Amino acid sequence: MEGKLGPLITRPLNGTQIGFNDLCTKGGGQGGGPLRGKVQELMSDSGKALNAFGVAEVQKALDNYAQEFNPWHVCFAVGLAWGHLAHLNPQFVGAAVRLLANWNADDLAEAKKHHNERGPDPIEQSLKGGYMMFQRVRLPPTLPDSLDRLRHFQERWWSPILSQDRPLYIGSWNATAMFMIALFAQPTLAATMTEVRVLLPPGGPIYNGLKLLYEAKLLSRPPAGSDLDDEAVEPGAVYENNALFAEIQNGKVPWSLIDVHSGLYMLGTRFAPSGQWF
């Protein structure tokens, strides 16, 4: 199927992708692509809708486990599920947070039962890497309540990730997703992030969404790096792609980068259930 800018999303899965194809077909924007303002409205609406869904998921997980366990461990576990490595259910989150606090065979076996399409090994490797990271990096007992403090601890988390002995599967997603979940735990704070302060995950569906927007003549350059998370972190690529989030946002206010990021997710995902989320 061809639009004015070229190939459209094949077999769109959700309303965001259907709407994007429609806007591409209509054209009227730079280089024959879709109108920038219309795409921004589409992504803003879908991002806000997904965020409402996400905030409820994160709050439920924190309510269930954060009183007994480290809230960072809860955020890390939810981040794994949001990266499609595991199903987000109480059995997985419970086993994962217990493992991150105290590594043991029983909880590892339970956590691996809840794998997604990539199988049990990425769950084990990600949790093993997370456990190693929490042994190396000291984080506060409660989630920071300011963007500056959250960024400070994100930089602390990154220090061993950039070393030569980076744990497996602590790539660009697992290096950043925990901090995104910490923002979802504090939606009022997240709404204030209208410029790049806390780095957000750049891979997977986000990378795919950025590629689509570049092909639609809505970004100045394509995304950097790749959509994979088991490779070494490329700091430059993470920063470059977060700068692209801000470029998407430019000209429409108020629009937080969390909304931009979630809109990109809906645009780039190939997860079939996304069509029934809202």
| Interstrand relation of 2-3 and 6-7 (parallel, antiparallel or unpaired) | antiparallel
Residue 28 within any structural domain of the chain: yes
pLDDT in the model for residue 3: 47
pLDDT in the model for residue 2: 46
Residue 254: CB atoms within 10 Å: 10
Residue 277 within any structural domain of the chain: no
Cα–Cα dist 252/250, whole Å: 6
Residue 105 within any structural domain of the chain: yes
Of the candidates 33, 44, 74, 23, the residue with the CA atom closest to the CA atom of residue 185: 74
Residue 171 within any structural domain of the chain: yes
Backbone angles phi, psi at 241, to 5 degrees: -70, -35
Residue 263 within any structural domain of the chain: yes
pLDDT in the model for residue 87: 94
Q: Tell me how many domains the chain contains.
A: 1
Q: What is the pTM of this model?
A: 0.93
Q: What are the structure tokens assigned to 203, written together?
A: 């891979």
Residue with structure tokens 């809906």? 266
Residue 276 within any structural domain of the chain: no
Report, as ranges of residue numbers, the positions in the chain whose pLDDT lies below 50: 1-3, 5
Residue 240 within any structural domain of the chain: yes
Q: Give the range of the structural domain holding residue 183, as residue numbers without chain letter.
A: 2-268
pLDDT in the model for residue 231: 57
Q: What is the DSSP string of the chain?
A: -EETTEE--SS--SHHHHHHHHHHHH-BSGGG-B-HHHHHHHHHHHHHHHHHHHHHHHHHHHHHHTTTS-HHHHHHHHHHHHTTSB--SHHHHHHHHHHHHS--HHHHHHHHTTB-TT-SHHHHHHHHHHHHHHHH----SS--SSHHHHHHHHHHHHHHHTSTTPPTT-STTTTTHHHHHHHHTSHHHHTT--SS-S----STHHHHHHHHHHHTT-SSSPPPS-S-SSSPP-HHHHHHHHHHHHHHHTT-SS--HHHHHHHHHHHH---GGGGG--
Residue 165 within any structural domain of the chain: yes
